Structures are given as C-alpha cells and as structure tokens.
Amino acid sequence: MPINPEAVGAAGGPSQRSWTSKDALLYAVGIGAGVDELAFTTENTKDTPQRVFPTFAVILGGGGVPMDKIGSFNPALMVHGEQGIELLGEIPPDGALESRGKIAAIWDKGSAAVVEMESEASDAATGKPLFRTRSSIFCRGEGGWGGDRGPSAKVVFPDAEPTHQVTYNTRGDQALTYRLSGDRNPLHSDPAFAALGGFEKPILHGLCTYGFTGRALLHALCDGDPARFRSMNARFSRPVIPGDALTVSMWVNGDKALFRTTNQNGDVVIDQGECGFA
C-alpha cells in the first residue's frame, strides 16, 4: 500500500540497543575525526579519557518508531529530510539504552510525502533519559492525497559575516567507512542503485554530513567538550558526494547559534540549522 496518513500518532514498543567503545570510535572516524581528536578516536591515549561525539545519538536513537505503520514507498526515491537531537547528558563510550518512538506527522507535499518521527532514549539500567531525536524522511512520488502540506516557517539568517567558519574535507571513500556504523543503504555504495534514484554516483549519507557539521559545532562553540552540547536541528537541502569539502558557517547569539553547511561550490547542503550549547 502507499503512504498511510492515518499512522500519525502511532507509537511503538520499547527498543533496546547497546554499544561499545569500538562503536563510538568507528563512528568518530566515520565522520572524519582523526589524529587531532584523540579523545574521540582512541580509548587508550595517556591522560585522555575517551569521549563521544554528541551526534552519535543519531546512531543509537530513533528506535521504537513503528515504521511498519506508515505504508510503503520506494527506498531508491527516499532521502533524509530533517534531523534533530536534544542531549540530556553526555553519551558514555559504552552502555545500553531503551528507546520509545512515534510517528509525529505525515505531510502531503504534492510530489512527495514527508514522514516525521520522534523518539526518546533512556539508560537501560537507571531509566534516566539520555537524549531525544527527531527526524523526517522525504519520500518522492508518495504525495498527492490532499493532505496538509505542513508548517512553512524558516530560520532567518543574519545579514552579517559568520561568527565562526570551519571547513572539513570528506574522503572519496567516506561513505564506505560511515556505513559500518549501521546504515547499509546501497544508495551510498552501489552505483547501480544510486542510478535508480537519479544520482550519477553514490551519495554520502545525510547523517554523515550531519556528523561532520556537528563536529564543527562542537569544536567551535563548545571547545570540544560534549558536556556543553545541548541540541542540533537542521534540514538536508542537497546531496553531498564523497570527496566534497564541507564548510560550516555559524552565527552565535548567546547560548544559541544558527548554522548552515555548504560544499566547495557554495551550494547549501545543510540548511535551517539551530544549535544550543552551554
């Protein structure tokens, strides 16, 4: 069946997930961290306890959402729309959690359907909330049933130079490293599958670009301290090709910042960004 708008509000049962130090290290190198970030890329460096990037929440969270309720869509025509995380504490290098999620909204964009999902993850042993995630997927070819198009509010960026700018280069094989954190969608590795979605070559995972952007925010706004990172919300606006250079521009106002990420051609690839920090 096609997308089912009646699924809005459906909640899923609890989903369990555990992770190890190795999982956190693999994620770190998957989003481009290296020898200058040993707190995140090693677990046995002298006087350097292992820490975890806040955006690791997108790997651990999102569980418990009843995806079987939303109907069907062509995965080759699906792209990530938006992603948000809210950190309620620092993510430890290893642990176990329980997630509960729901279908928050389904919007009719005419040529596509947008499905929004929300989830909260808690420490499996103590029940203490760890973080919340919010995400949406954009399913091309699944709209047109006459439903609500959804909110249209946009972030207004200042007409001023950014407070901070950070540029990272992605590798040509970046997606092959990132996929080992769990997203094995062939859109990011198989040229034939990517062609079915209208792409000349496999594209980088949107959440990998999100991770690169989160790295820049963490270092520029929080001096690399994950305990100060509170939230990050953004919209994916254009695919990134492995090998692209990513520049994150930030406009700071108190304990909040607006941000967007562009490629080497100046094209915006992550837009409508908002970050909270301490």
Total number of domains in the chain: 1
How high is the pLDDT of residue 75? 80
pTM summary value: 0.94
Annotated active-site residue 183? The verdict is yes
Compare 73 and 51 and report the one with higher pLDDT: 51
Rounded mean pLDDT, 51-75: 93
From the candidates 64, 71, 143, 206, give the one annotated as an active-site residue: 206
For all residues of the chain together, what is the average pLDDT?
A: 95
pLDDT tier for residue 35 given thresholds of 50, 70 and 90: very high
* Pairing label, strands 164-169, 229-236: unpaired
How high is the pLDDT of residue 117? 97
Cα separation, 175 vs 190, whole angstroms: 11
Annotated active-site residue 188? The verdict is yes
Give the contacts of 192 (CB within 8 A, at least 6 positions apart): none
178, pLDDT greater than 70:
yes
How high is the pLDDT of residue 2? 87
- Give the domain CATH number at 212: 3.10.129.10
Beta strand spans in 66-158 (E) = 78-87, 95-108, 112-123, 129-140
241, pLDDT greater than 80:
yes
How high is the pLDDT of residue 74? 87
pLDDT digits (tens, 9 = 90+) for 98-155: 999 999 999 999 999 999 999 999 999 999 999 999 999 999 999 999 999 999 889 9
How high is the pLDDT of residue 70? 93
Give the contacts of 5 (CB within 8 A, at least 6 positions apart): 106, 108, 145, 147
Residue 128: beta bridge partners?
A: none
Rounded mean pLDDT, 153-170: 96
From the candidates 23, 108, 183, 271, give the one annotated as an active-site residue: 183
From the candidates 59, 188, 197, 244, give the one annotated as an active-site residue: 188
How high is the pLDDT of residue 13? 83
Rounded mean pLDDT, 24-40: 98
pLDDT digits (tens, 9 = 90+) for 182-226: 999 999 999 999 998 889 999 999 999 999 999 999 999 999 999
Annotated active-site residue 203? The verdict is yes
Angle value at C-alpha 238, between 261 and 58, nearest 5 degrees: 70
Q: Provide the domain limits for residue 157.
A: 5-277
Annotated active-site residue 206? The verdict is yes
How high is the pLDDT of residue 78? 84
From the candidates 31, 59, 70, 203, give the one annotated as an active-site residue: 203
